[in-house]
Structure 1
Amino acid sequence: MSNLHNTIEYINSLSQSDPKELIDRSEQRFKNIIRDVSDKVENDSGLQVVMLAGPSASGKTTTAQKLAEEFTRRGMKTYRVSLDDFYLDRTDIPGYSEGKPDYETVFALDLPLIDKCINSLLRGETTVMPMFDFVSGKRKDESYEITLGKSDAIVVEGLHALNPIITDKLPHERILKIYISVSSRIYDENNKIILNKRNMRFIRRMVRDYNFRGSSVENTYELWDNVRSGEDKYLFPYSGLADMRINSIHLSEPCLFKETALNLLRNAELDGERAKDASRLIRALEKFNSISPDMVPETSLLREFLG
């Protein structure tokens, strides 16, 4: 905890005296993480596939993009692949016939096609890659092709990217497995938790749902229960298999999300445990200073949520 300074006292002190410095330190810390992962791949000539897994609102998408950009900058032509494009048609997903399709299970993916595509790429073959249409719930008619050269790389991101059902079919010496999440809590001076890891991811998700999808807090809570269940069953048991771990926390984020999150939570119509949880989050966020999101660089991981 001391190395990261993840205390509300530190965050509020720096956000008041020099908010730009708090943001800059958060951004530089994450740049250093991207550099370290890139060093690992660059220095091991056998590695060509990065398997990047993490829970909802961990920053997987932006991290995959940043890794691809850094690899490319270092001379490795890099492709990004989302496991979401390998979904089965909605009607073929387990549970669909009972009216409860399980989109979180690894068996909602076309596993033989994942195996075929990645291993084909590693053999240097031109490979046809699928695309999925989430509106229709079906695979698109169009596709795209990738040919992986000897010095090229691919970053594969998704909830199930560390699942042995997928990774055991791949040559282990050619892949780097990475787990990303918010991996730190924020404490007060008495070592009491102010925001836990899931709190921070929920706030990210809530703000993103509102900014990008016009979605309500009520809807985010409705989805969150299934998301959590899927993570518990299909992701967390395999997080220990990662070769590297990325902590995507930005110490500036409670201050940056504060005003939007408070406005959403205070106006939400919730009851029961969800109302209690929202009240806890309101009390926690009220303890932080506010920083304008306008100060956040356009290249920041937090832009995935702030817009």
Structure 2
Amino acid sequence: MPISPTDLARLPVRRLGPTDLLACADLSENRGWLREEHKWGLLLTAGTGYGIDDPDGDGLLACCVVTSYGPGLAAIGMVLVAQRHARRGVGRRLMEHVLAEAGETPLTLYATANGQPLYAGLGFTEIGRSAMLKGHFSADAVTPPIPVRPATADDLQEVLRLDREIFGLDRTPLLTRLPAFADHLRVAVEDGTITGFAAAWPNMDTHVVGPLIARDTATAQALVASLAEATERPLRTDVDVRHTELVSWLTENGLAPVVTNAVMIRSLPDLPGDATRRFAPLTVAAG
């Protein structure tokens, strides 16, 4: 017997953990997304997962993950509702629970066109857009001759300092997982100072470039080119559309725009940090 909308709205929300990874991946697949088990493993250990169990015992009915950056900001990602219960208020039920849990903490998320009306109705406003690009890096366009090398353990404190300056908040719990999570981690160094860093991590058949933090566009380009040299997989990245020069350069180098998403925020006029030097997130799910 189908679950009534009233009963759906009363289903309990519970915390998710690493043991729920496969159930989250199954729900991703149910909605036509990639399974992304590697990414789910990071999100469920570095962040807090929330889910609604299917009362019929068929896995998860809905889920999402919240990545906290302290009282100044938290990011919501991977908001998914099983196809058979889409458009029946389950997503709103889950989001209202997350908002209550967050309290006064400002929240941000990347919204698809389908999800944006729900988030707007919950008090989120659009502050920008992000373009996903994907493809084999061709190296056709010129790459600036800025020195880039593999990161070492000795670089960690300088990377964290630079990230706090540009991101605007402390991401230490997330970024210290990068050496184990990413296949490649690069730093740009000029005059003995780290001026940018980027990682490439495996996601199904691609390497995702993110985070991408750099002093300027030329440094961002050099970091991407260095990561591309280290892999034969297609690259995928999500770039703030305001970085038109980087988007054009990536396109010239074989990456095609796939989709754009709205960057939304609640309880703040804008994201903290310096958007001119913040080129791509580690993953849109973590803000």
Q: Which TM-score band (shorter chain)? A: under 0.3
TM-score of the pair, normalised by structure 2: 0.25
- The structure where strand makes up a greater share of residues is 2
- The structure where helix makes up a greater share of residues is 1
Structure ranking higher on relative contact order (CA contacts 8 Å, 6+ apart):
1
TM-score of the pair, normalised by structure 1: 0.24
Structure with greater Cα Rg: 1
